[in-house]
Amino acid sequence: MTAETDDLARLHDRLVARAGEVGLIDLAYRAVDSPLGALLLVATEQGAVRLAFEEEGHDAVLADLAERVSPRILRAPRRLDETARRIEDYLGGRSRSLDVPIDLRLLAGYRREVVEALPRIAYGHTATYTEMAGMTGRPRAVRAVGSACANNPVPLLLPCHRVVRSDGSAGGYRGGLQAKRWLLGLEAAGAPAARERLD
């Protein structure tokens, strides 16, 4: 790291600290390196509001959040260190829990009901879209369950990857089918799957 880069890093840290002191950060974000590629983690004061995969386009996600939540967004990695550590432990096979504060302001109505029910599917298990519809008290709302999972703003943190088709095939996933299969493999097999990165 050059002296100039070091100075910029210190200046950025001071800016983040000062902005936080005076309440100017509505959304803090950081990247999390993972076997699934770089993940974008964004949080409000209430908790994680968005987790995005590389294929979603991190810049596009931040622009969308600037419109939907607040334009006061700042890269503030230290504010998200604990959540990032929990994600790394989970993806590394060292933890089976991702119990972190979550802010679901991007969802409403039935979509929110479905996403809030996802943690009822235990680690290493799956449920079908039909079963999820039943779990939420609307057995005919299978397509709506699929839509809710597809629009889950915090995939992984609220495990929509555990929802599969009735025939046992994986179905869709915001992070891509390969990522969904990797996560299901990690949970089914435990830590050994975590040693392999997603290609």
Higher pLDDT among residues 2 and 101, named by residue: 101
Higher pLDDT among residues 13 and 109, named by residue: 109
Dihedral angle, C-alpha 174, 105, 13, 20, nearest 10 °: 180
Predicted local distance difference test score (pLDDT) of residue 157: 97
Q: Which of 27, 40, 160, 179 is catalytic?
A: 160
Does the structure show a pLDDT above 70 at 193?
Answer: no
pTM summary value = 0.83
73 pLDDT band (50/70/90 cuts)?
very high
Q: What is the mean pLDDT of residues 66-93?
A: 94
Q: How far apart are CA 146 and CA 193, in angstroms?
A: 27
Predicted local distance difference test score (pLDDT) of residue 19: 52
Residue 158 has what DSSP assignment?
B
Cβ atoms within 10 Å, residue 65: 23
Domains and CATH numbers, the chain: 3-91 (3.30.160), 109-190 (1.10.10.10)
Residues 6+ away with beta carbon under 8 Å from 105: 44, 46, 49, 69
Contact 153, 68 (CB under 8 A): no
Q: Is 160 a catalytic residue?
A: yes
- Read off the pLDDT of residues 3-41 as tens digits, 9 standing for 90 and up: 666 655 554 455 555 555 545 689 999 999 999 999 999
Does the structure show a pLDDT above 90 at 109?
Answer: yes
Predicted local distance difference test score (pLDDT) of residue 194: 42
Does the structure show a pLDDT above 90 at 197?
Answer: no
